Amino acid sequence: MLGPGFFISVEGIDGSGKSTQARLLADRLRQEAEVVTAVRDPGSTALGERIRSLLLEHIGGLPPHPFAEVALFVAARVQLLHEVIEPALAKGGLVVCDRYLDSTLAYQGAGRGLDQRTLLDLHRLAGADRMPDLTLILDLEVSSARLRSEPGRTPDRMESAPTAYHERVRQGYLALAPRFPERVVLLPADLPPEELAESCWKVTRARLTARRTT
């Protein structure tokens, strides 16, 4: 593929199906002969996976201060961006990321009450302000998302937060679409997985076509 790469993030509250849809989208793009790097945030680097464990495990004691939580996410994101995402994009490839910076705006911004402008400034100062070219936000009611939990599986620390917190996170995600209309597309996630996958594919294909014909 010639020209600059294309960076796609898939977002949504826990239980929205974003990890499944990120995987299906990456698979579909590969079937179309695209060079795709699939990653998750936090994670996909040695440092990122260690930080992911710290963020999601129930470690006891007082919960992390919201800014301590943000600092860990940013550290993992900086490493992911410079170690994996930017090199892949520099080669003209596509990157599909399961969560990215918008998760911090929703979870620590809307959810924890931190100022979103401050969060964006923090990413800029850390050199992690590269935004996706396309962000697919999968919207689902919190009550429906919680019904999708796997029987017998222990929720991680973020998933275990009260329903009111996840409601704030959802509203934070919904507010991102009008704030960043040039890159954010909101999709209803209450569809069968194959129908939602087709919606994600159609949006992605249209944006890729538009990028390559300009």
The residue among 61 and 12 whose pLDDT is bigger is 12
Question: How far is it, in rounded angstroms, from Cα 86 to Cα 38?
Answer: 13
**pLDDT confidence of residue 2:** 41
CB count within 10 Å of CB 28 equals 18
User: Is pLDDT above 80 for 49?
Assistant: yes
**pLDDT confidence of residue 1:** 39
Question: How far is it, in rounded angstroms, from Cα 128 to Cα 120?
Answer: 9
pLDDT tens for each residue of 81-94: 999 999 999 999 99
pLDDT tens for each residue of 119-174: 999 999 999 989 999 999 999 999 999 988 777 778 889 999 999 999 999 999 99
**Domains of the chain as residue ranges with CATH:** 6-212 (3.40.50.300)
pTM of the complete model? 0.94
Joined together, the tokens standing for residue 180 give 């960043």
